[in-house]
Structure 1
Amino acid sequence: MNENAYAQVNQGVPFQKRTNFRWKVALLMFGAIAINYLDRSNLSAAAPVIMKEFHFSATEMGFIMSAFFFSYTLFQIPSGWLADRLGQRLVLGGAVAWWSAATMLIGLCNNFISFIVSRIFLGIGEAAAYPSNAGVTAKWFPDRERARATVIFDCGNKFGTAFAMPFIVWLMVHYGWKTPFIISGLIGFVWVALWWLYYTDPEKSKYANQAEIDYIRNGQQLKEGIGGKASLKWYQLLRYRNIRAMCIGFFMSNYAIYFYITWFPTYLVQARGMSLIKMGFVAMIPPLVALTVGLISAAIADWLYARGIPKTKVRKINLVGGMLVGSSIALAGFIQTDVGAVALLTLSYSGLACSGPALWTLPGDVAPRNMTSTVGALQNCVSNIGGILGPIVTGYIVSTTHSFVPALIITGAATLIGALNYAFYLGEVKHIEVD
């Protein structure tokens, strides 16, 4: 009989075996992020075909890709605030429905402006995904399980990116480039139905018993979402050094990650001379390996924390080590063989995946009471300025130099700066205390 059982018996309460519904919640969050990245990766996979059909230059395609990030960035803080105020059930469910409809509309685009507008609408909807998931994790998981819970939903981006490529390419080859947008939009609506059917906050859940709720709450230093309102205005968070460090570091990480989400397929086709079919399968390799590495690194992080290693040290192992390995992307352009280049890019993406669990665990680690989604939204807002700049800068460099090498070097330098930021500027990882 475990400690909880003894406590229940001593209090005259019949023993109740603890449910584990929180891990089903983690799978729902995983599904949301997988669909999120499937929908935003559609354009990357279809970019070579769209550029040829509509005669778009690399610079024009860079602006189309980055249009998503303008609205995605702008709506981070409002969506995080709404998630904290109205609840993640309503906000995330509505967001997935919105961006699924926007994805289907992209299949109707036929000129530069329509692509820009559709991508802007896609970004508005997708802005709520990560901030909402950060809040859900803070409500549903004890501190010692948050790295694993975070990496489960964060791995959705690798899964969505990996399986998007062969799936989208197969659909494009057989049914045209518009079909993948319609199919992936329909998948999103299926997820919305499941979310509304199963998700509520822990105390309201029909699927989590009291033993599981007690286990969650007793394992939290700060009990998120149990009454009360936000402790600060969102902009007041920037007074704190750790918040600034989180924003800077995530900016540098996203600058690198979005190379894989936007330009990587085109790099394989144009710089490495791969066919669309070959590109579709080769583009799976970095995110699939990164997914596995991310899961292992999160398990190790939770294991270290459970054994008394200070939270600050555990988080920095992931952040600094992962970002340092991620900077190896700068060397990929100098590798002559396709196998060597893909191997190095896979190593870099895997390093970035190691930092992922800590990146999205930090909001729950440092946020004031009832502000986890807001903190997550703030750091994601700043980080996605990298998503705006990255595709444009890479597109401009490729257009002017006809080479991806300078763009890869700049991306590696950004990742190295991110590692130094987490090593020296990020302080002790603890909750912000507000009078």
Structure 2
Amino acid sequence: MTTVETAAFEEGKMTRRRWVICGLLFTAVVINYVDRQMLGVLKPFMSDEMGWSETDYADIVFYFQAAYAASYLLFGAFVDKVGAKIGYATAFAIWQLAHIAHAGASSLNQFFLVRVLLGIGEGGNFPGGVKAVTEWFPKKERALATGIFNAGANIGAVITPIAAPMIMLAYGWRAAFIITGVIGMLWIVAWLIMYRAPEKEAKVNAAELAHIRSDPEDSDRKVGWLTVVGKRETWAYATGKFLIDPVWWMLLFWLPDFFKKTFELDIPTFAGVLAAVYLISDAGSVAGGWLSSRLMKNGHSLNFSRKITMLICAVFTLPYFFIMQIDNLWLATIVVGLVAAAHQAFSANLYTLPGDVFPRSAVGSVIGIGGMLGGIGGMVMAKSVGQVLEAAGGYAPIFAVCGGIYLLAVLVIHLLTPKMAPARFPEIAAQA
């Protein structure tokens, strides 16, 4: 125990161990997005060697999305059953080994296989992460904590276009998967050593534990998967994921291709542009979580704080409608960064919805259902983007759809959860 922690115990000050856990989650999401985005970053340089058409690449993305969607659902229930520690570690090990296995793929079918394995593992990332946030943070801090760990997605997306081309130029694209994969495996050791429930953590004092458990909720209530499927609150979250997740998938897998084709970039400029986009979006993830948490601390209701933040984010995605009219590289970079930031801010608040309205024992299952719907939406997007690019030869129709989808998501979420009140379970009370 450090001197600062010892003093906190002796003086009765609140320890801050929950933010260490948030830092671990942040690091895991960085690694997750390095692994996820690697193929998209290297695709413009691998396509000729592999002989991929736009449809071939879209199929690779499609198979990843299909596995991801199915796995999200399964891992949601699995994480609720075994807890965040084992659930997240299992998912991490699967996806990291699959990432390394990309180095051995040499045919289209082999890439289908390794992407399926990657999707199976990555399906456990957010069920495990959000479950951990729900265990370690009260509602008034969850959006901020989720925004911080979700910001790891953007850091991973910044690192990948810088590191992957450099490794590729020096050692070949296969080495890019091996080197990043082996380094990433170190995280699982730290997670298994450091993570445990707050009640079992010696570095959490009574003040911090009371803060973490300050919400009036029945943490011991067991809610089954079939029970949450029938709740409107589940479908508010799941429909929101179905609508907005495909937009993020499109950015991850096709943004490198869009910039390279539109502006004919060399590798150093290419890396700088993608890094700038994701650094801007990183700020959005933290800002979105901070805004709704700040509104709640200032006395606004959870319902108002979450929804007004998502509405503001939706307005900031409207520039999608004119991205194709921008012919200046760095202006396009700023605008794409802005809409990506709006997505991440929206997502940080959407991810808190299960923890806001469901008992902790059901959060993983709800996250899994929503993630499955988001993955299905991503599958539809993958097929659509490939077909549109081959038929229309440009991204204008795709960006037009992205421009209006977030306002629709806010409307659907509001209609299904007009007050964002805790989900009621009269059937469980009757059984008791």
Q: Indicate the TM-score class for this superposition, using the shorter chain for normalisation.
A: over 0.9
Normalising by structure 1, we get a TM-score of: 0.92
**Alignment partner, residue 222 of structure 1:** 217
Report whether the alignment pairs 1:111 with 2:102: no
Q: Which moved more, 1:239-248 or 1:196-205?
A: 239-248
**Alignment partner, residue 6 of structure 2:** none
2:143 to 144, 147, 160: 147
C-alpha change, 1:258 and 1:411, in structure 2 (3 Å) is same
Distance in 2 of aligned mates of 1:263 and 1:126: 19
Distance in 2 of aligned mates of 1:366 and 1:338: 43
C-alpha change, 1:420 and 1:401, in structure 2 (3 Å) is same
Distance in 1 of aligned mates of 2:300 and 2:394: 45
Distance in 2 of aligned mates of 1:397 and 1:174: 35
**Residue 96 of structure 1: CA displacement?**
0.8
Q: Which moved more, 1:43-52 or 1:270-279?
A: 270-279
**Alignment partner, residue 395 of structure 1:** 386
Report whether the alignment pairs 1:334 with 2:325: yes
Distance in 2 of aligned mates of 1:276 and 1:308: 49
What one-letter code is carried by the residue in structure 2 that aligns with 1:77? L
**Alignment partner, residue 346 of structure 1:** 337
Q: Which moved more, 1:24-33 or 1:284-293?
A: 284-293
**Residue 297 of structure 1: CA displacement?**
2.8
**Residue 386 of structure 1: CA displacement?**
2.0
**Alignment partner, residue 90 of structure 1:** 86
**Residue 79 of structure 1: CA displacement?**
0.6
Distance in 1 of aligned mates of 2:331 and 2:407: 21
Distance in 1 of aligned mates of 2:397 and 2:14: 54
1:138 to 134, 137, 145: 134
C-alpha change, 1:262 and 1:235, in structure 2 (3 Å) is farther
Residues 380-413 of structure 1 deviation map (CA, whole Å, 9 limit, x = unaligned): 1111212212222111111112112122212223
Residues 80-107 of structure 1 deviation map (CA, whole Å, 9 limit, x = unaligned): 1111111110110121111111000011
**Residue 113 of structure 1: CA displacement?**
0.2
Residues 320-373 of structure 1 deviation map (CA, whole Å, 9 limit, x = unaligned): 221232232232112222233222211211211221221111110012451011
Distance in 2 of aligned mates of 1:14 and 1:100: 41
C-alpha change, 1:14 and 1:332, in structure 2 (3 Å) is closer
Residues 3-61 of structure 1 deviation map (CA, whole Å, 9 limit, x = unaligned): xxxxxxxxxx9853321100000001111111111100000001112211011001110
The 5 Å alignment of 1:284-303 reads: 284-303=275-294
SS at match of 2:382: helix
C-alpha change, 1:158 and 1:147, in structure 2 (3 Å) is same
**Residue 165 of structure 1: CA displacement?**
0.9
**Alignment partner, residue 260 of structure 1:** 251
1:281 to 272, 289, 305: 272
Distance in 1 of aligned mates of 2:258 and 2:83: 40
**Residue 425 of structure 1: CA displacement?**
4.1
Distance in 2 of aligned mates of 1:215 and 1:337: 49
Distance in 1 of aligned mates of 2:318 and 2:233: 23
- In the alignment, is the contact (CA less than 8 A) between 2:144 and 2:293 conserved in 1? yes
Q: Aligned residue pairs: how many?
A: 418
Q: Which moved more, 1:414-423 or 1:25-34?
A: 414-423
**Alignment partner, residue 10 of structure 1:** none
- In the alignment, is the contact (CA less than 8 A) between 1:397 and 1:403 conserved in 2? yes
Q: State percent identity of aligned pairs.
A: 25
- In the alignment, is the contact (CA less than 8 A) between 2:355 and 2:363 conserved in 1? yes
- Structure 2, unpaired ranges of 5+: 1-8
The 5 Å alignment of 1:243-258 reads: 243-258=234-249
**Alignment partner, residue 67 of structure 2:** 71
2:124 to 107, 123, 128: 128
Distance in 1 of aligned mates of 2:167 and 2:237: 39
Residues 214-252 of structure 1 deviation map (CA, whole Å, 9 limit, x = unaligned): 2211x223254xx453x23x2442322232122112222
**Residue 423 of structure 1: CA displacement?**
4.5
What one-letter code is carried by the residue in structure 1 that aligns with 2:288? S
**Alignment partner, residue 164 of structure 2:** 168
**Alignment partner, residue 57 of structure 2:** 61
SS at match of 2:418: coil
SS at match of 1:284: helix
Normalising by structure 2, we get a TM-score of: 0.92
- In the alignment, is the contact (CA less than 8 A) between 1:271 and 1:404 conserved in 2? no
- Structure 1, unpaired ranges of 5+: 1-12
- In the alignment, is the contact (CA less than 8 A) between 2:228 and 2:234 conserved in 1? yes
Distance in 2 of aligned mates of 1:63 and 1:426: 36
- In the alignment, is the contact (CA less than 8 A) between 1:252 and 1:415 conserved in 2? yes
- In the alignment, is the contact (CA less than 8 A) between 2:238 and 2:369 conserved in 1? yes
- In the alignment, is the contact (CA less than 8 A) between 1:100 and 1:189 conserved in 2? yes
What one-letter code is carried by the residue in structure 2 that aligns with 1:72? Y
C-alpha change, 1:426 and 1:276, in structure 2 (3 Å) is farther
**Alignment partner, residue 364 of structure 1:** 355
Distance in 2 of aligned mates of 1:43 and 1:308: 45
What one-letter code is carried by the residue in structure 2 that aligns with 1:201? A
**Residue 158 of structure 1: CA displacement?**
1.0
**Residue 63 of structure 1: CA displacement?**
0.9
C-alpha change, 1:414 and 1:384, in structure 2 (3 Å) is same
